[in-house]
Amino acid sequence: MFEFPIAIGLSPNTQTDDIWQALNALFMPWSWKEGSSVEKAEKWFKDYFGVSDAVSFNSGRSALYALLKIFNIGRGDEVILQAFTCVAVPDPVIWTGAKPIFVDIEETLNIDPGLLEKHINKKTKAIIVQHTFGIPAKIEMIAKIAQKYNLILIEDCAHCIGATYKDKKIGTFGDAAFFSFGRDKVISSVFGGMAIINGKFNPSTSLRTRMENGKLREFQQKLNYPSYFWILQQLLHPIAFAIILPLYNIYLGKLILFLLQKLNLLSFPLFPEEKLGNKPDIFPLKYPNALAQLVLVQLEKLDKYNLFRRETAAYYFRQLKEFPNIQLPARGKGAIYLRFNILIKNAEELLKIARKKGLVLGNWYKNIIDPRGVLYGKIGYKKGSCPSAEKTAGLSVNLPTYPRLTMIDLKRIVDLIPVRHS
């Protein structure tokens, strides 16, 4: 009766120690904004990636926006990025006044390096490389092209902290990288993000990027903290889910979730105006101490989480290899599989069947620029311009790999996949 639901989007990283940390913080509002945990989280990233500074923000979007601003990207500039993404990636580009240019994807579901040069012109300033679902993009090829055209290369590591490509950490291949601590990312503090600058990327720009490190810190220091109410919303998230999850399968959990959202006591991951390319006031702001406290608890579990995700992916690979009607994700030694994305013809139906049986699988990115309701005209995406991304969007079903899953859960998920013969 009090079984946890299999639900990819319901606070998937939250465990008992995270709930205790949130409760602890809840009763110490005097340390919600400023405190030593922000510095500790920044130091963790600085040491882990071997960079001279890591600068925190209240979301990955804010971190990306800050990077674009300090690299002087603005009106009249173009920034290349992939289709099959979340609107939270092109939006910060639009907020600077620059234009996002969408490029199609290859089999790893990341930007196709073979198509890049065709999109580069005098206005091109930067390339954002997303490592979708924690599977590394063809980053060496992309880095070479960025160097050839003297473009700024920013890695979008929202789906991967701890992934590697040829044994080198993802996040260290370009001029800069950013990370997300969103509610369903690798590690989570409900909202939060980090940016790093790598002065070693391009010899001709290394001096420039080293100087930009100071500019990034300056940019952050001029920002305000989020309001106490906003911080409260985020702290309530893991606590609320401690109550919601065990009651979810008997509907009471769903009702509590609905009421808390209606009462505005829980935040939504995206604001309606973002679907139109507009910037909510909440971005960019400083990363508050209370959320840094949450992220430090999560960072301690990063290796364990990534190992679990890799082992879960290995299980899916083994179990699903005989299914000719499914295309499995790309295999990568250094991938961390935030979600295990399969391509299946009747994706929508599979999601529906799963929901009926009480399993909520994922649908990133059902829309080429997710979520539903994004106005492509406002974001600058032309329908039909990225056929692989459009096809992938229609076929994608994400199987969960989050650390709470049990062996029984995994068997239930695999048993759901309907046909073994096409």
Ligand X SMILES: Cc1ncc(COP(=O)(O)O)c(C=O)c1O
Binding site for ligand X (CB under 6 A): 59-61, 85-86, 88-89, 130, 156, 158-159, 180, 182, 193
Residue type, 93: V
Give the gyration radius of the chain's Cα atoms.
20
Q: Please measure the distance between the N-terminal and C-terminal CA atoms of the chain and give it in whole angstroms.
A: 37
Using the minimum distance from each CB to ligand X, give the nearer residue, 287 or 305: 287
Using the minimum distance from each CB to ligand X, give the nearer residue, 93 or 354: 93
Query: Smallest gap, in angstroms, from Cβ of residue 71 to ligand X?
Result: 17
In order, the DSSP letters of 119-153 are H--TTEEEEEEE-GGGPPP-HHHHHHHHHHTT-EE
Using the minimum distance from each CB to ligand X, give the nearer residue, 37 or 180: 180
Query: Smallest gap, in angstroms, from Cβ of residue 59 to ligand X?
Result: 4
Query: Smallest gap, in angstroms, from Cβ of residue 178 to ligand X?
Result: 7
Using the minimum distance from each CB to ligand X, give the nearer residue, 248 or 366: 366
Q: Which residue carries 């699903």 as its tokens?
A: 320
* Rounded-to-integer distance, Cα 211 and Cα 3, Å: 52
Query: Smallest gap, in angstroms, from Cβ of residue 282 to ligand X?
Result: 10
Query: Smallest gap, in angstroms, from Cβ of residue 370 to ligand X?
Result: 8
Burial of 154 (0-12, 13-18, 19+ CB in 10 A): buried
Using the minimum distance from each CB to ligand X, give the nearer residue, 86 or 170: 86
* Rounded-to-integer distance, Cα 112 and Cα 15, Å: 37
Order of strands, sheet of 396-400, starting from the edge strand that comes earlier in the sequence: 326-327, 339-344, 396-400
* Rounded-to-integer distance, Cα 229 and Cα 158, Å: 25
Residues 87, 89, 92, 95, CA torsion sign: negative
- Parallel, antiparallel, or unpaired for β 99-103 and 339-344? unpaired
Listed residue (185, 166, 169) closest to 177, CA to CA: 169
* Strand locations in 302-364 (E): 326-327, 339-344, 359-360
Q: What contacts 356, CB < 8 A, 6 or more positions away?
A: none
Using the minimum distance from each CB to ligand X, give the nearer residue, 85 or 392: 85
Query: Smallest gap, in angstroms, from Cβ of residue 404 to ligand X?
Result: 21
Query: Smallest gap, in angstroms, from Cβ of residue 419 to ligand X?
Result: 30
Using the minimum distance from each CB to ligand X, give the nearer residue, 205 or 401: 401
Listed residue (174, 269, 323, 244) closest to 4, CA to CA: 244
Q: Which residue carries 């060496």 as its tokens?
A: 140
* Rounded-to-integer distance, Cα 346 and Cα 395, Å: 7
Q: What contacts 367, CB < 8 A, 6 or more positions away?
A: 374, 393
Q: Residue 335, Cβ neighbours under 10 Å: how many?
A: 25
Residues 26/30/36/38 CA torsion (nearest 10 deg):
60
Using the minimum distance from each CB to ligand X, give the nearer residue, 71 or 179: 179
* Rounded-to-integer distance, Cα 334 and Cα 311, Å: 12
Query: Smallest gap, in angstroms, from Cβ of residue 388 to ligand X?
Result: 17
Q: Which two tokens stand for residue 18?
A: 């995270």
Query: Smallest gap, in angstroms, from Cβ of residue 323 to ligand X?
Result: 27
Using the minimum distance from each CB to ligand X, give the nearer residue, 186 or 260: 186
Using the minimum distance from each CB to ligand X, give the nearer residue, 266 or 410: 266
Query: Smallest gap, in angstroms, from Cβ of residue 241 to ligand X?
Result: 18
Using the minimum distance from each CB to ligand X, give the nearer residue, 4 or 376: 376
Give the residue closest to ligand X by C-beta.
60
Query: Smallest gap, in angstroms, from Cβ of residue 43 to ligand X?
Result: 20
